[in-house]
Amino acid sequence: MRTAVVPLLGLGLAFLLFKDQFGGAHFAAFVAMFLLEPMFSCVFLVIGPVVLFALFYKRTNKWGALAGMVSGAVMVFLWKFVISGLGGAFAIYELLPAFVISSIFILVVSHVTAAPSKEVTDVFEEVKAAKLED
């Protein structure tokens, strides 16, 4: 809860300070396009690959998941504000390259660090076997 309050207060303060300079509607569109859209991309990107790998790849561990979340979030902002400016093939939506980078980080870090415990892999196999039986 506290994590969401600070950015919202910051956006509200920025809106109050700059609304006359840019015009209310124009400033709201700026905030939506350049600040909120990448943040929502990050939220979905952070959750997406981790959930997919946790459901379908037994070797995924907490360090791989964390590396995937961080690398994907960083890649969204890098692609949106740095790389897409190069144009051409780099002008694609930032979610695709960030998803690929996140997946690579999940795989590599999960293999470099310790495997999940036996209890975790046993639960994974039980759920997988139960689904196959139904």
The boundaries of the domain holding residue 92 are 37-133
| Residue 27, domain member (yes or no) | no
| Residue 99, domain member (yes or no) | yes
**Count of domains for the chain:** 1
73-122 pLDDT, tens digit each: 888 888 888 887 787 778 887 788 889 999 999 999 999 998 888 888 88
| Residue 118, domain member (yes or no) | yes
Amino acid 4 reads A
| Residue 86, domain member (yes or no) | yes
The SS3 call for residue 87 is coil
Question: Which tokens in the block code for residue 116?
Answer: 């999940």
Report which DSSP code applies to 10: H
pTM above 0.85, yes or no: no
Rounded distance between C-alpha atoms, residue 131 and residue 58, angstroms: 15
| Residue 10, domain member (yes or no) | no
